[in-house]
Amino acid sequence: MELETFAIPTFRSANIEKRIAKLARKAAKNGNPDIRVSFGETFIREVDTEYGKAKVEFVTVSVTGKAPRIAGWDFLARIELLDDENLVHSVPGSDIQLDQSFRHHDGYCDHCNSARRRNDVFVLSNGSEQIAVGRTCLREFLGIDDPKASYHFSCSVL
């Protein structure tokens, strides 16, 4: 089990706990190990806002679990395809190194074999290969519903 620790604003802790519980239920449904969250001590941190500096209460959050594995595939990253360059949202704690070619991905989907304008592609690995699958193809490829609702790879989750 991997352990990741984050600091989040305290006012977001209930939302995080709810989202991790939902993720844990989905992980269990798909035969993945338990995902657990625990909250540590609170502390005050000064942050920059659009109105100047503000003091915000933070709490440390520890999440224990493994990245989801569905139908023999590990999620490695969500790639947000932008005009100038791509934004890569890697799965925290993944043991698999993301192939550097995905950083300059053009939207090609290895499932439907088409390159078109996409907002996101998801990088998956079965241990021997890494592939990119478009958002609309994930349901068919893995047999699950909306991947963004199931597994969110943005740092904003935690």
What integer pLDDT is reported at residue 55 of this predicted model?
Answer: 94
What integer pLDDT is reported at residue 59 of this predicted model?
Answer: 95
What integer pLDDT is reported at residue 40 of this predicted model?
Answer: 93
* 3 state SS of 119: coil
What integer pLDDT is reported at residue 57 of this predicted model?
Answer: 95
Beta partners for residue 37, in sequence order: 63
Q: How far apart are CA 50 and CA 48, in angstroms?
A: 7
DSSP per-residue string spanning 41-89: EEEEEEEEETTEEEEEEEEEEEEEE---EETTEEEEEEEE--SSS-EEE
Tokens of 93: 């704690």
Q: Each residue's pLDDT tens digit in the chain (158 positions)?
A: 567 788 999 999 999 889 888 888 877 877 777 888 899 999 999 999 899 999 999 999 988 877 667 778 888 888 888 877 788 888 776 777 888 888 777 888 888 888 888 888 889 888 888 999 988 888 788 766 544 444 443 333 33
Which bin fits 96, alpha (ψ -120 to 50), beta or left (φ > 0)? Answer: beta
Tokens of 132: 């990119």
Q: What is the pTM of this model?
A: 0.58
Which tens digit of pLDDT belongs to each residue from 74-87? 888 888 888 777 88
In the chain, the amino acid numbered 143 is G
Q: How far apart are CA 48 and CA 18, in angstroms?
A: 27
